[in-house]
Structures are given as structure tokens and as C-alpha cells.
Structure 1
């Protein structure tokens, strides 16, 4: 990541590539539990005998824990050693992951997902804080893009592994596999990131953590970015949770294994997301973000068609657009914050993950009551709101 890791220095081209890969792999191992479970929601719905909306909300309950943890990190980040916090969070993440295989009721399942969220977001927030504190300008933009690229990979590979393992060995086996990946993530961070210098309480010109949070919330640019993050995960979680019922239901009738293969639609995003920094530098953060939203809207339109190829192509466009927008917004928050970037990142993530939970709940009810077309219309409205919010992004200079 930086000179404080075991990777080569930033002056080396190979070192830069290895650093990008390391950040992406850490992100993958941190967030793989978040999205992988979505692909097995139809099977979990049958196991617990509940409606798609109830099961979708239970699976997405992890975002409640993630919002809470992000806010806590925003308030107390200056007291937490980055490396130790990330390692401990990823190691503890394996516990509720294993217990999901034994959850007897959907309520207990949801509770364990909340615990997963607490651990995931702690690691996620501390990693973003670590990157924001040690990198600036173009280097920071590349680092954040690398982290979001790992997020993309967790969507693709995580769903594929979950569906493949569940289809071959049962749903429970998939949770054991992901617990092993959590442990691998903790080991990787322990081996590659050196301990951060001790943080001083009362830093940032004597402001307390609470006053720093208040200052960020008073910043109109950051408020717009926080609301934008809410919209992005609202769209993503809601859309990619309930599309599984369309793909596996009467409309297309795909099997569990085929559902996992469908998520190769995320593959293009692995190559497009790293371009976020360069794109922002060329045309500006605002225009680049609006372009991402436009791609997502085009993809959403294709997902309403009754042609499988069109739906898959639409899913790919939505993924490219939303991941690109997320990478740009994450970098924007780090640069727009006037001090205490950890608090700013924590607030952004709290809003982001809250959007995921609200999206799962609201869109689940819409889908159950009115179907896919109504859900798509709601998503289109939220994407339109996101496009309006990111107009604030032009108030900062572009990436260095």
C-alpha cells in the first residue's frame, strides 16, 4: 500500500501493480460475505419458509451492522490502531459466518448478518482511513479504485463460489468456505501491513471526534456525497437482491448453478473501475460520476425486457456504472474533508450501508406487491436523485 507495507515502493511500476492487487485482494476478503449470500436467497427463502421480501431484508440486515460500525469508527478512529483493528475485525468475522449455517430461524439469521456487518464495516472503514491518511492526489484515487475493484471481485467471485458450493454441497457449506476466506483476509493484513504510528487523541487542531463529525455534516459537498452514497447502495442491493427471483423464477427459470454464472456480468467492472481516477482527472469528478449514473440507467432499462441476453447486458451496465460512481464518490469524500478523513469516510460509509438496508426493505415490499416493473421504476427515481446530488462534485478540483 505504502512504504509502511511489505510491498515495493511507489517508484516501482511493478510495486504499483502489486500494491493495487494487494488492496484489491484485502477488499475482496473483507466484503465477500456481503454480496455472496444474495445469490442463495431463493434457497434460503425455501429453507425458512418466508417471503422474498422477508428473506431479502434478513440477508441485507448486515448493512445495519455496517452502518453502525462505520459511524463508531468515524467517532473513535483516532483511538484505534489501523492494522490491529483490521486484523481483529476480519478474524472475528469468521465466527458469525460459520454460525449462519446453524441458524434455526430467520430472526437469528438476520442477527448473525448484523454481526457480520459490524465486523466487515470496521475492517472496511479502517482500511479506507489508512489509505486516506497515507496517500494523496492520484495515488489516493488509484488506491480507492483498487479497493472498489476488490469490492467488484467479491460480487463476482463470491456469488459464483456461493452458488457453486451451495449447488454441489448445500447452502451450509458455502458459509464454511467464506469463514475460511475471512481468516485468510486477517492473515494477509497481518503479513503485509505494518503497525501504524500511534494516533494522538485530540489531534486535528484540538477538535474532538464529535466536533469533526459536526463539521463534516455542515459541509454541503460532503452532505451531498453522503446522500449520494445512500442512493448508490440503495440501488445496488435492492436491484441485485430481487433480480435473483426473476432469473430463478418463471420468467427465466435458471438453476442455482446458472444463477452463479450469471454474475460474470460483474467481470467488465473489474477492468473499468480502476479507470475512475484517470477518468476524473480527464473530465472531472462530476461529469465522470454522471456518466456512471447514465450507464446504470441504460442498464436498468434493459433489465425490464423479457430477453435474457438483454437483462444480462443491462446488469453489466448497472454494475459498471454504480461501481464507477462509488469509486469516484469515495475518493471525493477523502479530498473534500477538511481534516479528520477517517471521520468523513466513516460518515460516508454509514450513509452508504444505511442505503443498502433501506433499499432492500423498501424495494422488497414494492417487488412483492407490484412486481419487477414497479421496482425498476423506483430504482430509476433514486438514480435520478443521485445524478442531481453529484452536481456538487464539481466544487472541488479534479484528481491530481
Structure 2
């Protein structure tokens, strides 16, 4: 896999997560300028994640017919336009519509990129490519939040969307120029042919369990950073919008660690790796309870690292578990994943209002515990002596 191809894959991951949570450090500013309560401003996150959840099962079917790269390029261009539209939103309702539009386009990058990697690479190469892609999503999550916070502090919240649109423009150019065209792709006969594969997944217990794990992963991520961010802005911490945006630099830890997760899965297995990263996330949540800014930041770093490493475990399994209907399986996983994020943005709000961050942290820890129990049930290794199917390393690009 060439350096340019790896760069394009990384940028696709960045693009997939750049916009979704970019309003997290802006919530107080949006609430003030668009005249809504602070709690309602979290719907700028939920609108986007809801859009992703609605479209994700069908994105793969569209790309099954039209081709992977073509669909991703069109989606990035559309996301660029929707991001610029957010910069001129004249009221809260318009902002929600434009944020929903961003969400509707994201699966045509996220789900399709995962299917592209699963088709073009096999074995250890596929695991490393998936980990690189997820690492890109971690960097995108950081860039979206950090750049939004920095631009807002200097020029106001509208400028943040212009900055993110420029990042999307770079991603679009790199994808067009550097991402190789599909070689392992065979187009479906029609859009309905791809959609028919979705129904069969509801009898696949391992895939459905993986979807529950995905929902838990993003519930944790969105809940932790949304409400911990609010806590850091309030007394006794009193961080500014720029400083809260800078807190998301902890995602850079995940950028470094997540590619190593692919290797760890190869060495100790997917289940053991997920159990390990679950413990890391729980330890991080415990640290955020310490009334110290450095402790909260370190705790969020540990939690987010566990989240992205867990995502590397789950999304690769979803692609494998889908069999021939791989793209729709990934789409179903992403629907669950972002539905979990949508719930994680709003479900902890009553707890935060009534009892503060400690109650939110307890809820998030319970969600991690549930995901671990599900992983133990659905990711059991094959019994000893059962023949194993091997996928051979076959790099397609020099």
C-alpha cells in the first residue's frame, strides 16, 4: 500500500469524524447567539448523529451499485457544501437542518470506506488499514473540536465552519488524486439487490451483538466529552472555549495508539483486546472524578483511547461478520454506532442537571460494563480443533 494511498485512507477517516462533534466546544456560544437553552444546544450534535444513523444502512447499497470511490468523492463534496451552509445559519432551526444534512452525507464516506478496505485488502494488511482508518477518525475528532474552538475564540463560531470546510476541501483533493480505484469491487445489478441483504443480518447474532457494542462505544465518547466539557467550562475549572477545544488534543493519543491495536488484535485476539481497552476506559472515567483539571484531561485521554481502540476491534468484525453482504452489515453497524452517539448526547442531560458529572460518569461506566458483557457473549473464539479459514495478506497496491 503506497504512502499516498495510506494518506488518503487516513484523511477519509479524518473526514468521517470531522464535523459530527465539532459543535461540542461551541455549545454555550451557540445557545447564546441562537437564543436556546444550553441543554437544547446539544441537539446540534444529535441532529448530525441522527442523520448518520438514518442513512448508514443504505449507503453501502448505493455504493454497491455506483462504486466505492465515486460515492465517497460525491459525499465529501456534499459535506463541504453543508458545512459552509452551517456558517450562514440564521436561526437554530436552520442550524439543525444543515447539521442533519452533514449527518446524512457522512455514511457515504464512513461505511463505504470500511467496505472499500475490506474488499481491497486481506489478512494483516486489512487489519492495519482498518486501524489506520480509525486512527484518522480520532484525528478528525480532534481537528473538528480543536479547530472549531480556536476559530470561535478568535473570530466567532461561524468562522469555525469555514475552517472545517477548508479541511474537507483538502480531503476531497487527496481522495480524488491519491485513492486508487477499486480492484476488488463488483457492482450489484441494482440498488434493490444491495438492500435485500440487510434483512438477513437480523438473524446474525454476532453481528447484532457487535452493533450493540458499537452503540455503547459512541455513547461513551459523546457523553464523556459533551458533559465533561460543560463541567470544565463551569466553576471551579472555568476553562474558555479555546481551552475546552484544546482539551480535545487528547484524541492525538488515540491517533498514535489505535494503529497498534490492529497488531494487538493479531497477537492476543479481538476479545482480549477489547477487554483491555474497556478497562482503560473505566480507569479514565474514574480519573475524571478527581477535582483537578490535569486529572480530568488525563482521564478523558484514557477514555477516548479506549473508545477508538474498541472501535478498531468492532468495526473490523462487523465487516467480516457480514459475509457477502458486507457493505450493508457495516451500514447496520454504523446505524447502531451513531444511534448510540445520539442517545449519549442527550440521555445524560437530566443526570448532569440533577447530580452533576459524577452521575454521568456512573452511567457511562455502566454502559462500558454492558458492552464488555456483550463482547464476552458474541466474540467467543472458535473451539479448539475447529478448522480455521485464513485470509492471506495480499497487498494490491505497491
TM-score by length of 1: 0.90
Aligned positions of 1:178-193 closer than 5 A: 178-193=164-179
Residue 177 of structure 1 is matched in structure 2 by 163
Q: Does 1:137 align with 2:112?
A: no
Question: How far apart are the structure 2 equivalents of 1:28 and 1:200?
Answer: 27
Partner of 1:274: 259
Secondary structure at 1:60's aligned position in 2?
helix
Displacement of 1:18 in angstroms is 4.8
**Matched residues in 2 for 1:217 and 1:140: separation?**
26
Aligned residue number for residue 236 of structure 1? 221
Change in Cα spacing, 1:399 to 1:275, as seen in structure 2 (3 Å) is farther
Residues 66-92 of structure 1: CA deviation (Å, up to 9, x unaligned): 112211124444212211111111111
Partner of residue 143, structure 2: 157
Q: Which runs of 5+ in 1 are unaligned?
A: 1-9
Aligned counterparts of 1:194 and 1:138: Cα–Cα separation in 2:
19
Note if 1:221 corresponds to 2:212: no
CA deviation profile, 1:274-318 (whole Å, cap 9, x unmatched): 011111111110010111111001100111121111111100100
Quote the residue 1:94 is aligned against. 80
Any gaps of 5 or more consecutive residues in structure 2?
A: 383-387, 392-398
Secondary structure of the residue that 1:235 maps to in structure 2? helix
Q: Which residue of 2 aligns with 1:200?
A: 187
1:139-177 per-residue CA deviation (whole Å, 9 max, x = no partner) reads: 111111111101111122222211111111111111111
* 2: CA distance, partners of 1:161 / 1:338: 39
Once the 2 structures are TM-superposed, how far is the Cα of residue 239 of structure 1 from its aligned partner? 1.3
Per-residue CA shift, 1:107-126, capped at 9, x if unaligned?
A: 22112111001112211111
CA contact (8 A) 1:280 1:399 kept: no
Aligned pairs for 1:342-381 within 5 A: 342-381=327-366
State how many pairs are aligned: 383
Q: Deviations over 1:323-374 (max 9, x none)?
A: 0000111111122222121111111111101111111121223323332111
CA–CA distance in 2 between the matches of 1:398 and 1:247?
49
Higher alpha-carbon deviation: 104-113 or 246-255: 104-113
Going from structure 1 to structure 2, the CA distance change for 1:38 and 1:280 (only over 3 Å counts) comes to same
Contact 2:147 2:164 in 1 (8 A): no
Partner of 1:32: 18
Deviation at 1:235, TM superposition (A): 1.1
1:63-82 alignment runs, 5 A limit: 63-82=49-68
1: CA distance, partners of 2:92 / 2:295: 34
**1:117-137: CA deviation from partner (whole Å, max 9, x where unpaired):** 111221111111111111111
Q: Hey, what's the Cα distance between the residues in 2 that align with 1:47 and 1:305?
A: 33
Compute the displacement of 1:53 (Å).
Answer: 2.2
1:338 maps onto 2:323 in alignment: yes
Match of 1:312 among 280, 294, 297: 297
Secondary structure in structure 1 of the residue aligned to 2:237: coil
Q: Is the 8 A contact 2:12 2:136 kept in 1?
A: yes
Work out the CA distance in 1 between the residues paired with 2:277 and 2:366: 15
Q: Match of 1:4?
A: none
| CA RMSD, Structure 1 to Structure 2 (Å) | 2.0
* Contact in 1 for aligned 2:17/2:144 (Cα 8 Å): no
Q: 1:53 touches 1:365 (CA, 8 Å); kept in 2?
A: no
Structure 1 contact 36–154 (Cα < 8 Å) conserved: no
Change (3 A) 1:252 1:332: same
Q: For 1:339, what is the secondary structure of its paired residue?
A: helix
1:128 & 1:92 partners in 2: Cα distance?
Answer: 19
Asked if 2 retains the 8 angstrom alpha-carbon contact of 1:285 and 1:394, the reply is no
Q: Give the conservation status (yes or no) of the 8 Å contact 2:86–2:95.
A: yes
C-alpha displacement of 1:179: 1.5
SS in 2 for 1:201: coil
- Compare 110-119 and 40-49 and name the one that shifted more: 40-49
| Separation in 1, partners of 2:109, 2:259 | 21
Q: Is 1:121 paired with 2:104?
A: no
Single out whichever of 387-396 and 129-138 deviates more from structure 2.
387-396
Task: Give 1:202 shift.
Answer: 4.9
1:186-208 deviations in Å (ceiling 9; x for gaps): 222111234436743359xxx94
User: CA 1:319 to 1:161, structure 2 compared with 1: closer, same or farther past 3 Å?
Assistant: same
